[in-house]
Amino acid sequence: MSIAFKVYVHCANCQKNYGSLLEPPDAEDSPQDIDELLESNFLREQKFMCRECESPIGIITDIKELRNDQLVAVRRLEPCS
For residue 77, pLDDT beyond 90: yes
List, for residues 46-68, the tens digit of each pLDDT value. 999 999 999 999 999 999 999 99
DSSP H/E element including 44: helix 41-44
List, for residues 25-45, the tens digit of each pLDDT value. 988 889 999 999 999 999 999
CA–CA distance from 16 to each of 11, 32, 54, 57, 73 (Å)?
5, 29, 11, 12, 24
What pLDDT was estimated at residue 79? 73
Query: Could you tell me the pTM of the whole model?
Result: 0.89
- More reliable by pLDDT, 1 or 28: 28
